[in-house]
């Protein structure tokens, strides 16, 4: 399916959109190793970042939440990428898979691990990663049982469970937006 909106090139942006564009392209996503392209050859932002420009006030808050989830939580890189990719698998979000599988490989996941995640099979992971996988799966179903809460809070602490619920909600929102706007 073709996208429902085309990417906004930098020359087309309003003052508010331009400020958000700069915040996204000069923030933590643009520093360090680049595992996926943030912008297209014409300078338009890719994936959810272009969509955020459609409503700069909401987009600014959303991109800041995403930056906090990606770069300022206590979750390990592997826990975070496992969770993100499980959300992508559940929502069948091609963009999130394309963007985060290279990040997951850089964090030490194998191709077999990625196949298991795509199948939403967390049985191959041990210890805390298994608990993260089970917790994310339960959150994607809408809640944690008392036993799941107990295991998650013992492994991650209440703060880690909070961060994980925020991650699942954020990436679920992105997956929905990408689907509605037909961003591949």
Let me know the angle formed at the C-alpha of 14 by 8 and 17, rounded to the nearest 5 degrees. Answer: 65
Q: What does the domain layout of the chain look like in residue ranges?
A: 10-71, 77-180
Mean pLDDT within 108-118: 98
Mean pLDDT within 165-169: 98
pLDDT in tens, 59-68: 999 999 999 9
Residue 106, pLDDT > 80, answer: yes
Q: What single-letter DSSP state applies at residue 107? A: T
Residue 135, pLDDT > 80, answer: yes
CB 79 within 8 A of CB 113: no
Let me know the angle formed at the C-alpha of 96 by 16 and 176, rounded to the nearest 5 degrees. Answer: 70
CATH 1.20.1290.10 is right for the domain spanning 77-180: yes
pLDDT in tens, 43-62: 999 999 999 999 999 999 99
CB 157 within 8 A of CB 69: no
Q: What single-letter DSSP state applies at residue 3? A: -
In order, the DSSP letters of 27-84 are: SGGGSS--SS-SB-TTSPBPTHHHHHTTSHHHHHHHHHHHHHHHHSSSS-HHHHHHHH
Task: Give 32's pLDDT tier (boundaries 50, 70, 90).
Answer: low
Each residue of 63-90: b (16+ CB within 10 Å) or e? beebeebbeebebeebbbbbbbbbbbbb
pLDDT in tens, 8-19: 999 999 999 999
């Amino acid at each position: 399916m073709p996208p429902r909106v085309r990417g906004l090139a930098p020359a087309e942006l309003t003052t508010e959109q331009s400020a958000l564009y700069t915040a996204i392209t000069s923030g933590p996503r643009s520093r360090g190793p680049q595992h996926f392209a943030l912008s297209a050859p014409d300078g338009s932002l890719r994936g959810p970042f272009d969509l955020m420009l459609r409503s700069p006030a909401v987009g600014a808050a959303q991109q800041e939440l995403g930056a906090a989830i990606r770069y300022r939580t206590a979750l390990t890189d592997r826990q975070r990428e496992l969770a993100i990719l499980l959300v992508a698998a559940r929502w069948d979000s091609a963009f999130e898979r394309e963007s985060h599988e290279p990040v997951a490989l850089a964090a030490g996941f194998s191709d077999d691990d990625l196949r298991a995640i795509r199948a939403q099979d967390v049985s191959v992971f041990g210890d805390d990663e298994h608990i993260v996988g089970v917790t994310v799966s339960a959150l994607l179903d809408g809640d944690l049982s008392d036993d799941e809460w107990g295991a998650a809070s013992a492994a991650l602490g209440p703060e880690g469970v909070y961060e994980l619920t925020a991650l699942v909600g954020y990436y679920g929102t992105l997956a929905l937006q990408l689907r509605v706007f037909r961003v591949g």
